[in-house]
A = this chain, B = another copy of it.
């Protein structure tokens, strides 16, 4: 049994039953082998999960565009990170286990920073814009993933979650929030992109 088929099987178990229900015993059952056989390839269950997370973070980086529009290329980068994470909603929160400076982020980070540079931004500003984009994307996407994950765990794989930032406070107590609530978009992707554009608002050129 190769490391690759083991990871593929683990991802399948995670996606169908949820990361919470993933266990070495469950994986052993899925692969018809002893639960302890996996320790040949991964020192620990967490090491296996880290490898799965890294593969998701790296997913699709080879296809990132380098057009003549740096802003569009950056948008594509983070939009695709969001989509890769949402493809595995119960696994997504585990990205926090991987520091954002780890190898799995390098290509993606280099692409984003290169576009900021190309748009004429100096390194200090580029660093700030980059970190803001990254952490905003993680915060938004992980919040969305948790809601999706709840739906998956209840209704099984392929369920749809609701809007990520829906707020229904009592209007008497929280008037300002109530005014704004209707503008928190139903469409999570549109809301997400609006935040990216806000951060990229005055990108040079």
Chain A interface residues (CB < 8 Å from chain B): 93, 96-97, 99-101, 103, 105-107, 109-110, 113-114, 117, 123-124, 126-132, 134-140, 142-143, 146-147, 164-169, 173-177, 179-185, 191, 194-195, 198-199, 201-202
For this chain, the copies found in one complex come to 2
> In the bound complex, do residue A123 and residue B179 qualify as a contact, i.e. CB atoms below 8 Å apart?
yes
Kindly state the separation between the CA atoms of A127 and B195 in the bound complex, as whole angstroms: 10
Q: Which of B93, B110, B169 contacts A106 (CB 8 A)?
A: B169
Residues in B with CB closer than 8 Å to A140 are 131, 135, 139
A192 to chain B, nearest CB (A): 9
Residues in B with CB closer than 8 Å to A181 are 127
- With contacts A135-B136, A135-B195 taken as known, whether A179 is within 8 angstroms of B146 at the C-beta atoms is no
Residues in B with CB closer than 8 Å to A183 are 123-124, 126-128
